[in-house]
């Protein structure tokens, strides 16, 4: 599986958000974008990560960056997740995991000796021209915000 790195073009996507709207990466041209992939809405690690991103949303905006979360969950579950935790940014549904595959985050995982395919928690900072500034594969939920801020403040 090819991992994206700084300088690579960020794969375009067209995905439905929690409100049923279609969101595209190209809709953010002229702004940086923090895109993070999380395995499953309403789970502890994903909740921690998403709530921290939501809290830092205004900081990201003042640094010229939008934020987007992506998981395989359907839009209805994304809406429930956003509503329960007051998340005020797009949560996109990648049910067929094509976007996750394009970003190299759809991987074989293992739990209790059982192998399955799923999301490798990852984050990407994309520049105004849709180029990868930085990719963090296998990022910890609590590291997403500080790592992205550090990169944006350079």
Residues with a known catalytic role: 46
* Cα 51 to chain centroid, rounded: 13
Q: Is 42 exposed, middle or buried (0-12, 13-18, 19+ CB in 10 A)?
A: middle
CB neighbours of residue 1 within 10 Å? 10
Tokens of 152: 């944006």
Instruction: Identify the CA nearest to 50 among candidates 61, 39, 64, 59.
Output: 39
Coil, helix or strand for 122? strand
């Amino acid at each position: 599986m090819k991992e994206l790195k700084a300088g690579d073009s960020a794969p375009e996507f067209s995905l439905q958000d929690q409100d049923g709207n279609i969101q595209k990466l190209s809709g953010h041209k002229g702004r940086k974008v923090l895109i993070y992939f999380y395995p499953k809405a309403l789970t502890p690690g994903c909740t921690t990560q998403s709530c921290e991103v939501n809290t830092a949303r205004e900081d990201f905006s003042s640094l010229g960056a939008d934020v987007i979360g992506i998981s395989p969950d359907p839009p209805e579950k994304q809406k429930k997740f956003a509503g329960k935790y007051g998340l005020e940014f797009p949560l996109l549904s990648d049910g067929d995991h094509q976007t996750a595959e394009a970003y190299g985050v759809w991987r074989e995982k293992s739990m209790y000796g059982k192998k399955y395919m799923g999301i490798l928690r990852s984050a990407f900072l994309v520049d105004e021209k849709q180029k990868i500034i930085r990719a963090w594969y296998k990022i910890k939920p609590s590291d997403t915000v500080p790592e992205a801020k550090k990169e944006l403040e350079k």
